[in-house]
Structure 1
Amino acid sequence: MRGKTAARAALCVLALGALCAGATRPEDEQEPSGRVLLSNLHAAGLLESGRTARSDVVGLWQAILWADGYMARRQISCTYDGPTAVTTRAWQSNHHLSADGIVGPATWGTAAARLAPVGRWTVYRGERYDLPLRRDADGFLEVYDAGVFRPLRTDEVTLTLCR
């Protein structure tokens, strides 16, 4: 039980990192606060190797890869690098998506389909681990990080795991 709780906490941290890893969205879809609406995860922005700045959003994506067993926890860096792109291609291929290594609306949407309400939380139901998330009072995504829920950022790295 203790290991599963630690794994969930780590996934939350990763998930937060992935969403905030510098992803950008079109101006009409981007939240001015640099945050992501949980109900709008598919519009979290494009993540692409060599083009995406470090952010919590990238950490979130890497946490999703970890939850599904594609990435080791120690690889979560909030940086969308070459190894993350290679791992993303494998994930996309196994989920019947175009394996281009770019996390866009189709990839985010496939991941979002695995979100499930669990009490006051929303959980990404990974193939190996669950990743706990939460919607704040305004509907923005929060990730469990170092024992507390923190807002997921698209414009900076705030996750403890990535600092």
Structure 2
Amino acid sequence: MISKRAKATAGTIAALTAGVIALSASPASASGTYSGLAYVYGAGVFTDDWDNEGIVDTSHNTTSNATCLWQKVLWADGELTASDIDGDFGPTTKAATARWQTKFQVTSDGSAGQNTWTAAGNWLRNSSNGFDGTVARYIGTEFIIDVTRDSDGYYHFLDGAGAGRIAGYNYHTC
């Protein structure tokens, strides 16, 4: 027969285990990522923020706000038109990505993975109007994109229609 003390101890252990599991649960991660975060993320200096971003291509995070941000980069470098910024990584974005990769001397496979995001991140600069370190600019060959980081380090940007968006891998509002 199991004593009341043993039952109480077992119940306490089960409750503590459930609590630890609940506390350690993280937000949904992005599929095909290096950082495992659900958002395009950064901290500290801007130029290394995108060194561990997830993949956006025709197989990973295909329809997402992270894809929309990537399309803004392609637009800033003259590889897409503003009307192409829709958050859907289709054949037009794949071809534009391959051209961008060739231009910036990254292996050209049409997929924005770690090396491609890292090369793009080299063109992030502090903005003159961002005194607190949360505002940056992507300096494209054709246009400049202003981006911000919130208090959690998540990137925000304006989509092709000028609406504010957060650069997440797991949802699409562009």
Q: TM-score, normalised by structure 2?
A: 0.69
Which residue of the partner structure matches residue 64 of structure 1?
Answer: 73
Distance 1:83 1:140, change over 3 A: same
What SS does the corresponding residue of 2:138 show, helix, strand or coil? strand
Which entry has the higher C-alpha Rg, 1 or 2?
2
Cα distance in 2, alignment partners of residues 69 and 23 from structure 1: 28
The structure, 1 or 2, with the larger RCO (C-alpha pairs under 8 Å, 6+ apart) is 1
Q: Which of the pair is proportionally richer in strand? A: 1
Cα distance in 2, alignment partners of residues 100 and 147 from structure 1: 29
How far the C-alpha of 1:51 sits from its partner, in A, is 4.2
Corresponding letter in the other structure for 1:92: Q
Deviation track 1:88-135 (CA, whole Å, cap 9, x = no partner) reads: 111111111111111111110110000000122201001111101011
Q: Aligned match of 1:47 in 25, 50, 56?
A: 56
The structure 1 segments of at least 4 consecutive aligned residues displaced by more than 6 Å after TM superposition are none
Corresponding letter in the other structure for 1:156: Y
Please tell me whether residue 38 in structure 1 is matched to residue 42 in structure 2: yes
Q: What percentage of aligned pairs have identical amino acids?
A: 25
Report how many residues are paired. 134
Q: Aligned match of 1:95 in 96, 104, 123?
A: 104
Distance 1:148 1:102, change over 3 A: closer
> Structure 2 stretches of 5 or more lacking a match?
1-29, 44-48
Corresponding letter in the other structure for 2:138: Y
Distance 1:148 1:76, change over 3 A: closer
Corresponding letter in the other structure for 1:37: Y
Checking the alignment, whether the CA contact within 8 Å between 1:114 and 1:126 is kept in structure 2 is yes
Distance 1:69 1:30, change over 3 A: same
Corresponding letter in the other structure for 2:156: E
> Structure 1 stretches of 5 or more lacking a match?
1-21
Cα distance in 2, alignment partners of residues 158 and 147 from structure 1: 12
Deviation track 1:118-161 (CA, whole Å, cap 9, x = no partner) reads: 122201001111101011112221113566644221110123xx
Cα distance in 1, alignment partners of residues 126 and 171 from structure 2: 27
Distance 1:75 1:136, change over 3 A: same
Which residue of the partner structure matches residue 143 of structure 2?
Answer: 129
Which residue of the partner structure matches residue 79 of structure 1?
Answer: 88
Which residue of the partner structure matches residue 167 of structure 2?
Answer: 152
Which residue of the partner structure matches residue 155 of structure 2?
Answer: 141
What SS does the corresponding residue of 2:94 show, helix, strand or coil? helix
Checking the alignment, whether the CA contact within 8 Å between 2:61 and 2:169 is kept in structure 1 is no
